[in-house]
Amino acid sequence: MDDLRQDAESLLTKTSLSDGVDRRDFLKVALGTGFAAAAMPVVAQNVIKTDTAGLTTGTITLTVDGVQVPVYRAQPEGKTNLPVILVVSEIFGVHEHIADVARRFAKQGYMALAPDLFVRQGDPQKAASIAELQRDIISKTPDAQVMADLDATVAWAKANGGNADKIGITGFCWGGRITWMYAAHNPSIKAGVAWYGRLVGESNPVTPRHPVDIAGSLTVPVLGLYGLKDTGITQDSIAAMKAALAKGANKSTFVVYPNSGHAFHADYRPSYVEADAKDGWSRALAWFKQNGVS
């Protein structure tokens, strides 16, 4: 529970609601729309909106172990044999920001897929606070379940116009940790980009291992994008991850932004740092290209 508490502390903000945006205006109405109540306040003037021109977008549904798992999809219209990016959300689920990130990748020529990995545990957009969200949903979402849902997403991509030899993964916060873990779980992934994902933690039945535990055997190259001012992810934990990675033969590397804290890519939040978010995005695209995803 200490890990969850630290995650919550790194996400909490004392800033009040910006620009008169009403909380109700951002509640979820469909996958990939609205913002989670627990993510408030939304800084509306910073929110990036990527249009759907030239794209096929919307929700597909996978059946995984008898459960219907929604996946937000964005890809170039009418194209096949597309490189694939799995987009893994923060604790807030597949909301407007994550869908927009998927569209940004689609504009770059990718099939981008963002599965609702919390569908069995609940709707993170309805949780009133980060503490409630952590307690009722995140702490009850097993890594094994997440890996299976991502496996099913990859299988769908391969069967529906995705290039099986060009698959990458990226994720933010909770999804940053999952990026490291899935890169270890599925070595056929070409590359990963982990944005401020937790690297160390306690072992329990839900999260039996953490990135530092799989680093030595990791073969997939992962780019870690982190903030020096992140109070929830210490520089000691990054150092421990680097040391663990050094025990293997892996090309993973880190960029630590001195002016950023947690969630610096989240353009809808007060934590957003535009310069570092843009630099990280450029590095992510270059990393995927360099490692054979595009």
Cross-sheet strand order for the sheet of 253-257: 55-64, 67-76, 111-115, 82-88, 162-172, 191-195, 222-227, 253-257
Structure-block tokens of residue 32: 């990939």
pLDDT of res. 24: 32
Residues 123-146 as b/e (b if ≥16 CB within 10 A, e otherwise) read ebbbbeebebbbeebbeebebebb
- Cite the active site residues: 173, 230, 262
CB 76 within 8 A of CB 101: no
The pLDDT assigned to 205 comes to 97
C-alpha to C-alpha distance for 248 and 226, rounded to whole angstroms: 22
Q: How far apart are CA 38 and CA 92, in angstroms?
A: 8
Mean per-residue pLDDT over the chain, rounded? 91
pLDDT 10s digits, 43-76: 999 999 999 999 999 999 999 999 999 999 999 9
Residue 68 backbone dihedrals phi, psi, to 5 degrees: -80, 115
Which residue pairs, CB below 8 angstroms and at least 24 apart, start in 60-64?
A: 60/156, 62/115, 62/149, 62/152, 62/153, 62/156, 64/148, 64/149, 64/152
What's the whole-model pTM score?
0.90
pLDDT tens digits, one per residue of 213-266? 999 999 999 999 999 999 999 999 999 999 999 999 899 999 999 999 999 999
CA separation for the pair 164, 31 (Å, rounded): 26
pLDDT exceeds cutoff 60 at 9: no
Residue 4: pLDDT band (50, 70, 90) is: very low
H or E segment to which residue 114 belongs: strand 111-115
Q: Tell me which residue of 204, 203, 205, 183 sits closest to 250, measured CA to CA.
A: 183
Of 98, 106, 99, 101, nearest to 56 (Cα)? 106
Q: pLDDT at residue 157 above 90?
A: yes
Q: What is the pLDDT of residue 30?
A: 83
Residue type, position 51, single letter: D
CATH numbers and ranges of domains, the chain: 1-8+50-291 (3.40.50.1820)
> Please, is 260 exposed, middle or buried when counting C-beta atoms within 10 Å of its C-beta (0-12, 13-18, 19+)?
buried
Name the nearest CA neighbour of 71 among 182, 133, 160, 195.
160
pLDDT in tens, 255-275: 999 999 999 999 999 999 999
Q: What is the pLDDT of residue 28?
A: 37
Q: Are 10 and 261 in contact (CB under 8 A)?
A: yes
Backbone Cα Rg of the chain: 17
Percent of the chain with pLDDT over 90: 88
Q: What is the pLDDT of residue 249?
A: 86
Give the tens place of pLDDT for each residue, 12-45.
333 323 333 333 333 334 899 999 999 999 999 9
pLDDT of residue 209 exceeding 80, the answer is yes
Q: What is the reported pLDDT for 288?
A: 98
Q: Give the pLDDT confidence of 104-151 residue by residue, as tens digits.
A: 999 999 999 999 999 999 999 999 999 999 999 999 999 999 999 999
Strands 111-115 and 191-195: unpaired
Quickly count: other Cβ atoms within 10 Å of residue 58's Cβ: 14
According to DSSP, the residues that pair with 63 across neighbouring strands are: 68
Percent of the chain with pLDDT over 70: 90
